[in-house]
Structure 1
Amino acid sequence: MRKSTPIFVLLLFLAVYSHAQQDPMFTKYMFNSLVFNPAYAGSKDHMTLGLLHRTQWFGIDGGPNTQSFTIHTPLPKERVGVGFSAINDVVGPTRTMQANLAYAYRIPMGPGKLSVGLQAGVTNWSADWTKLTLVDPTDPAFAEINPSKWLPNFGVGLYYYTNRFYVGASS
């Protein structure tokens, strides 16, 4: 464990977010912590389930529309937490769907616990260009009517928490 700690810390800071699409917008991030940080998995002493919906610019066609589902739990008699998160984000003609599994190892530290988490999953990005009115329908950028691509998604995180305080970092 001691030999792998420096490697994990290095990986935490080397992770790079490298695509140009918009991230889903969450105003209630405190109810959706697993989406942002895999180390949050199992941080409660019981199974936690979350379901959120957000519609922005209500009444305007193509306005941002986001749903998320999370579930996580500590494993009995273990220092391990596991979780699952799913996101559906629709903005105009584009849709981004994600499904992620999270694993967290919790280490007692002082009055609280330090949790180290890993996440792996998939992201699907798709578009329906027929929802747009194009000035030039022959534009090669829109040649494929319904493009779709699948991408891997990996993440790491740290989360320290007590009964009165928490702080985390993730990538």
Structure 2
Amino acid sequence: MRKLVLSLCLLIISLNALGQNYFITNQYAYDLFLVNPADAGNNSECITFNGFYQKQWFGVDLAPTTQLFAFQAPLMNNLGSGTYVFNDRNGNYNRMGLQQSFSVEIKLRENRNGFTSLHFGLSAIINHTSLDYGNFTDGAALDL
């Protein structure tokens, strides 16, 4: 039992848990579940799609390019979901990722003016970054 607890503690410590995420663009204001996962699927009357494509310097091979897609929807009675997928390339640096958020709403009180509720949310983020060293040297040897 002690080994299991120690293994779980090491696993949790080895995971990189961050409180804030670096946003690819400043368009996160349209998808507030990126800032607070409790807002995922908060509007129970509609499903929201957002897409974004930006390319700078047309005609340049390694120009900065960003693509992202966001989707959020209410699932069942009080559950919501939000998904965010992005690809960001800047020269030889490439970053891709996925964020999945879920939320639950607990209604505390309802009266003729509306209702009072409490929202909880949880997000999981997967990021992949890469750097291509192929274009750095022009055939010259690296000085290590």
TM-score scaled by structure 2? Answer: 0.65
Equivalent residue runs for 1:26-37 within 5 Å: 26-37=25-36
Shift of 1:112: 6.3
CA distance in 2, matches of 1:136, 1:104: 53
Structure showing greater relative contact order (alpha-carbon pairs closer than 8 Å, 6 or more residues apart): 1
Q: How does 1:77-96 map to 2 (within 5 A)?
A: 78-96=77-95
2:119 match: 115
Deviation at 1:73, TM superposition (A): 1.1
Mapped partners of 1:89, 1:41: distance in 2: 23
Structure 1 or 2, whichever has the larger Rg, is: 2
Q: Is the 8 A contact 1:34 1:70 kept in 2?
A: no
Confirm or deny that 1:50 pairs with 2:50. yes
> Is residue 69–residue 87 contact of structure 1 (8 Å, CA) maintained in 2?
yes
Distance of 2:79 and 2:31 partners within structure 1: 19
Secondary structure, aligned partner of 2:34 = helix
What does residue 68 of structure 2 align with?
68
| Separation of aligned partners in 1, 2:107 and 2:20 | 34
Give yes or no for contact 1:42–1:82 (8 Å, CA) kept in 2: yes
| Cα displacement (A) at 1:106 | 2.0
Evaluate the alpha carbon distance shift between residue 48 and residue 61 of structure 1 in structure 2; reply closer, same or farther with a 3 A threshold: same
Spell out the pairing of 1:99-114 with structure 2 (5 A cutoff).
Answer: 99-108=98-107, 113-114=117-118
Identity within the alignment, %: 26
Alpha-carbon distance between aligned partners in 1 of 2:74 and 2:90, rounded to the nearest angstrom: 34
Deviation per residue, 1:76-117 (Å, 9 max, x gap): 3x2211122111111111111111221111244786654321
Give the conservation status (yes or no) of the 8 Å contact 1:105–1:116. yes
1:27 deviates by 3.1
Please tell me whether the aligned partners of residues 24 and 66 of structure 1 are also in contact (alpha carbons under 8 angstroms): no
- How many residue pairs are counted as aligned between the two chains? 121
102-111 vs 36-45, which moves further? 102-111
Distance change (3 Å), C-alpha of 1:27 and 1:79: same
* 1:67–1:115 distance in 2 versus 1, CA, 3 Å: farther
**Aligned letter for 1:67?**
Q
- Return structure 1 stretches of 4+ with deviation > 4 angstroms: 108-114, 133-136
The answer to whether residue 18 in structure 2 is matched with residue 16 in structure 1 is: yes
With structure 1 as the length reference, what TM-score do the two structures score?
Answer: 0.56
CA RMSD of aligned residues (A): 3.1
Which blocks of at least 5 consecutive residues in structure 1 are unaligned?
1-14, 141-171
